[in-house]
Amino acid sequence: MILLRDTAWILSLFYSVTLIACETRKPNIIFIVADDLGWNDVGFHGSNQIPTPNIDALAYSGLILNNYYVTALCTPSRSAIMTGKYPIHTGMQHMIVYGAEARGLPLTEKLLPQYLQDLGYENHIVGKWHLGSYKREYTPTFRGFKSHLGYWTGHHDYNEHTAMETPGWGLDMRRNLSIAYDLHGKYSTDVFTEESVRIIKNHNISKPLFLYLAHAAVHSGNPYNPLPAPDDVVKSFSFIKNYSRQRFAAVLSKLDQSVGAVTQALADRGLLSNSLIVFTTDNGGPANNFNLNAASNFPLKGVKNTLWEGGVRGSALLWSPLIRKPNRIAKQRMHLVDWLPTLIDAAGGDSRQIMDIDGVTQWKALSNNEPSNRTEILHNIDDILGNAAITVGSWKLLKGTTYNGSWDNWYGPSGRTGYHYNVQQIMDCPAGKALLRINKAATVQQILDMRPQATINCSISDFSHQVNCNLLEELCLFNIEEDPCEVNNKAKSFPDVVAHLLERLDSYNKTAIPPGNLPLDPRGNPKYWNHVWTNFGDYFPDGGATTVINI
C-alpha cells in the first residue's frame, strides 16, 4: 500500500519534472532567408565556384532539402512562410507589394510568430519584410515580432539603404518604427548579422527564441550599384573572370559569413544544441543579368519569377540536433508553406489543430526519414500574367509563361570545372567549428558521400540549343523525377496525365481569391516624406489609393 502510494508520488513527480524539462526544452528557431539565391549558388549542390563553407557545414550536419520548393517571387514566398498558405489563398499571388501601394498581407491572417508566441516564444525579425507597410499595423512589430531592425520594401542599397522603385527613391532602414539614419554607410549584411548576434547574446533563455533573419543578400541593390560588396571581398574573388559573377560571389560570401557568425553566437551562448536552423532561399535565382543580378540555377531551367524548376526548386537546409536521422539528403517533397506546421510541431505544438492552411507538417517525415505526406505542389496561378504550374506525383504541368517566354531557358555558370571544392574549409569555418564544439560536425567522408547525391546531373551537352516546349503556344508536361531539368516535354505522349493535372489545377483555381494588388498611391512617394519610404496611410483618413499610377 505504502509502496504503491510512494510509487504514485514518485511517478507524478517524475511526470511534472519531465513536463517542466519539456517546457524549457523548446528549441530556439533561427530561420534564415536568403534573397534570390539560386539552386547552383551553394557549394552543397555541386558548384565549386563560390565557397559557402558555413552554409555547407550546416547542410552536411543536418538535412539537405533536395526536393524542396519555394514560390517564384519575394512577396508571395514570404507570405507563404508567414501564413502556411499558398499565395492564391491570401491574394498575394501576383507580383510584389510596392512601398507606395496601400496593401499588405491581410490583417485577418495569423502569422508564424503569432503561433509561436502562443507556444511561449519571443520573436525577433532582422532584415527584409516586404509584406506591406503603408500603415503601421501591417509592419512586423504589430504582427507578432517584438523587434525589427531592417527594411520594409523588396530591396535596398547595402550601404546607404535607399530603395529605388516606382514611383520614387527613398531610405528604407528602420529600428521598429524609427528611421535608422545612423546606420548610413554600414553594410546591410553586417548590420543584420550584428543585430542577430546581439539578440542571441541578450536573449533571456527563460523563453525559446524565434529569430527570423531575412537578408538583403543576394538580391541586387539599386541600378546604379546592383551588386554592392566591400572592395576587398570583391578582390578576393578575382579568380572569377566574369565581373558580375565576381561581385555576386562577394555578396554571397558575406551572407555565408553571416550564417557562420550566427551559428557561432548560438554556440557561444550554449544555445546551439537546442536550436533548429532553417536556411532557405525565397525564390529561384535571377541569372544572366535578370534584375541586374548574376545567380545560377544550373542545370535547372528558368529564373526567378518563372515557374520552371529554376524559379521554384529552392536551395535549403534544415539543421538541428533534434533531427533523429541527420547527415543526409532529404528526398521528402516539401513546399515553403510546410514550414509553419513543421516548425509548430518541432516546437512541441500540434499543427493538426490549425485548419485552413495549405502547409503539411514535415517534422516527423524529416526527422525520422519517413515518406512525406505532400504529393502535390501548386506552384502558382497568376491569371494576370497568365501562368500556372502544378506538380502531382512525378508529373509537372506548366501553363503559360512570363516575360513572353524570354526567360524559358537554361543559364550558367555550372561552376563544375576550373574550380576546387575545399572540404577542409567546411571544417575550419566558424559554423564548422561551432558544430565541432557540440560534437555535430559532419566528417570528411560524410561530406564526400552526400555532395554527389545532392548534385543534379542532366545529360544535355548544350541546354541553350534545346527548344522543345513553347509555353506561348502549348502546355508542357515533364516527368520531374526523371527529368528535373525539364528537357523532354511529354504532353503529347500523356494526354491523360495532362487532363488529370489540369483538373487538379482547376480545383485549386476554384479556391483562389483575386489578387489584392492595388494601383500605386502617389502619396506614398518618398519625395513627400523627406525621401523615406513610410507608413503614409497612417497620415490620411482614408489611407488608400486615390490616383492611379500605372507601373
By CB under 6 A, tell whether 244 contacts ligand NAG: yes
Strand partners, 32: 213, 279
Closest distance between ligand NAG and the C-beta of residue 204, in Å?
Answer: 4
Q: What is the DSSP letter of 65?
A: E
Closest distance between ligand NAG and the C-beta of residue 384, in Å?
Answer: 10
By CB under 6 A, tell whether 7 contacts ligand NAG: no
Kindly tell me which residue out of 455, 466, 479, 488 binds ligand NAG, with binding defined by CB under 6 A: 455
SS3 state of residue 86: coil
By CB under 6 A, tell whether 364 contacts ligand NAG: yes
Closest distance between ligand NAG and the C-beta of residue 138, in Å?
Answer: 16
Closest distance between ligand NAG and the C-beta of residue 522, in Å?
Answer: 28
By CB under 6 A, tell whether 149 contacts ligand NAG: yes
321-360 positions binding ligand NAG, by CB under 6 A: none
Strand partners, 287: 295
By CB under 6 A, tell whether 146 contacts ligand NAG: yes
- Measured from the CB atom, is 307 or 435 closer to ligand NAG? 307
What is the radius of gyration, based on Cα positions, of the chain? 23
Strand partners, 168: 165
Among 7-15, 50-58, 161-169, 397-405, which window interacts with ligand NAG (CB under 6 A)?
397-405
- Cα dist from 15 to 8, 12, 19, 483, whole Å: 10, 5, 6, 52
- Measured from the CB atom, is 353 or 404 closer to ligand NAG? 404
Kindly tell me which residue out of 388, 390, 485, 501 binds ligand NAG, with binding defined by CB under 6 A: 388
> CA–CA separation, 217 vs 243, rounded Å?
17
> CA–CA separation, 548 vs 147, rounded Å?
34
- Measured from the CB atom, is 404 or 439 closer to ligand NAG? 404
> CA–CA separation, 81 vs 167, rounded Å?
28
Kindly tell me which residue out of 16, 166, 373, 375 binds ligand NAG, with binding defined by CB under 6 A: 373
Among 4-12, 13-21, 283-291, 301-309, which window interacts with ligand NAG (CB under 6 A)?
283-291
Alpha helices of 302-415 — where are they, by DSSP H? Answer: 309-312, 339-346, 363-368
- For residues 102 and 524, the answer to whether their CB atoms sit within 8 Å is yes
Alpha helices of 84-171 — where are they, by DSSP H? Answer: 112-118
Residue of 45, 74, 203, 429 marked active site = 74
What per-residue string of b and e applies to 274-292 under the rule 16 or more CB within 10 Å gives b? bbbbbbbbbbbbbbbebbe
Q: With CB under 6 A, what is the number of residues at the site for ligand NAG?
A: 32
By CB under 6 A, tell whether 229 contacts ligand NAG: no
Kindly tell me which residue out of 209, 287, 450, 487 binds ligand NAG, with binding defined by CB under 6 A: 287
473-502 positions binding ligand NAG, by CB under 6 A: none
By CB under 6 A, tell whether 175 contacts ligand NAG: yes
- For residues 74 and 456, the answer to whether their CB atoms sit within 8 Å is no
By CB under 6 A, tell whether 471 contacts ligand NAG: no
Nearest to 276 by CA among 29, 64, 62, 31: 29
Residue of 130, 161, 215, 379 marked active site = 130
- Measured from the CB atom, is 176 or 273 closer to ligand NAG? 176
- Exposed/middle/buried for residue 504 (C-beta within 10 Å: 0-12, 13-18, 19+): middle
> CA–CA separation, 61 vs 58, rounded Å?
5
- Measured from the CB atom, is 117 or 509 closer to ligand NAG? 509
> CA–CA separation, 281 vs 315, rounded Å?
6
Among 104-112, 301-309, 312-320, 399-407, which window interacts with ligand NAG (CB under 6 A)?
399-407
Among 16-24, 439-447, 478-486, 504-512, which window interacts with ligand NAG (CB under 6 A)?
504-512
By CB under 6 A, tell whether 242 contacts ligand NAG: yes
- Cα dist from 35 to 41, 77, 227, 397, 418, whole Å: 12, 10, 13, 26, 27
By CB under 6 A, tell whether 396 contacts ligand NAG: no
Kindly tell me which residue out of 16, 236, 457, 493 binds ligand NAG, with binding defined by CB under 6 A: 457
Among 128-136, 238-246, 262-270, 442-450, which window interacts with ligand NAG (CB under 6 A)?
238-246
**Angle formed by the axes of helices 444-453 and 53-61, to 10°?**
90
SS3 state of residue 14: helix
By CB under 6 A, tell whether 404 contacts ligand NAG: yes
Block residue for cell numbers 491581410: 106
Closest distance between ligand NAG and the C-beta of residue 165, in Å?
Answer: 21
Cα-Cα-Cα-Cα dihedral of 59, 307, 96, 111, to 10°? Answer: -50
Kindly tell me which residue out of 23, 370, 503, 538 binds ligand NAG, with binding defined by CB under 6 A: 370
Q: Interior CA angle at 480 toward 477 and 483, to 5°?
A: 95
DSSP secondary structure of 68-99? EE--SSHHHHHHHHHHSS-GGGTT--SS---T
- Measured from the CB atom, is 89 or 440 closer to ligand NAG? 89
Kindly tell me which residue out of 234, 365, 423, 497 binds ligand NAG, with binding defined by CB under 6 A: 365
> CA–CA separation, 540 vs 135, rounded Å?
10
Closest distance between ligand NAG and the C-beta of residue 503, in Å?
Answer: 11
In one letter, which amino acid is 79?
S
**Angle formed by the axes of helices 430-437 and 53-61, to 10°?**
30
Q: Is 74 an active-site residue?
A: yes
Q: Is 215 an active-site residue?
A: no
Among 186-194, 380-388, 433-441, 541-549, which window interacts with ligand NAG (CB under 6 A)?
380-388
- CA distance from start to end of the chain: 81
Kindly tell me which residue out of 114, 159, 176, 414 binds ligand NAG, with binding defined by CB under 6 A: 176
423-452 positions binding ligand NAG, by CB under 6 A: 452
Nearest to 63 by CA among 280, 317, 256, 276: 317
Nearest to 62 by CA among 454, 457, 455: 454
Q: Among all residues, which ones are annotated catalytic?
A: 74, 130
Site of interaction with ligand NAG (CB under 6 A): 146-147, 149, 175-176, 204, 206, 242, 244-245, 287-289, 294, 361, 364-365, 370, 373, 381, 383, 388, 399, 404-405, 452-453, 455, 457, 505-506, 509
